[in-house]
Amino acid sequence: MIFAPLALPGAFVLEPELRHDERGFFARTFCARELAAHGLDPRAVQMNVSFNHKRGTVRGMHFQRAPMAEPKVVRCTRGALYDVLVDLRPSSPTYLRWEGVELTEESHRGVFIPAGFAHGFQTREDRTEVLYVMGEYFAPECADGLPFDDAGLGIAWPEPVTVVSDRDRAFAAVQTRGDALRAVFA
């Protein structure tokens, strides 16, 4: 795999090295040894998939509070999406900054998202499917999020938002959370 660092420290685009032959191709998309060699958390304890019917669907911005903060690798296995990461680590020079990456079934790319980040995405095509390799178990008591349209974050979604869950609309904004947000990963 090729590790392309993003502007947010510890986050990477993972480019598979495709090996083609008459059958098609083969590529490694996750390797604990390679992640560890780049100083990343290689744990994989759970895999999840989300399927999204409509273009413009937004899921996020989700995270788990410490001590269940979760690193993850995210890939688009069908369709296309705009994947967004927000750095929530108070000691980071990029605290509360976001970055977006296009992921498609054709590119086969993934994103490594460190623990201490919020994550979300917007579908760019109908019938988009997303695969997550999680480094921590889901803990409902630690599940949290930020509004996808939080003015304090200023995420520029590429499509009109067509579908968002009630849960994702109900998260409290960065401005109203103040020091409580800083304490999430302190």
62, 82, 108, 119: which one is catalytic?
Answer: 62
Q: Decide: residue 19, CB within 10 A, 0-12 exposed, 13-18 middle, 19+ buried.
A: exposed
Which 3 state secondary structure label does DSSP give 110? strand
**CA 159, CA 155: separation in Å to the nearest integer?**
12
95, 119, 132, 137: which one is catalytic?
Answer: 132
DSSP 141: G
Catalytic site residue 62? Answer: yes
Query: What DSSP string describes 19-84?
Result: EEETTEEE-----HHHHHHTT------EEEEEEE-STTBEEEEEEE-TTS---EEEEEEESEEEEE
Catalytic site residue 82? Answer: no
Residues with catalytic annotation?
Answer: 62, 132
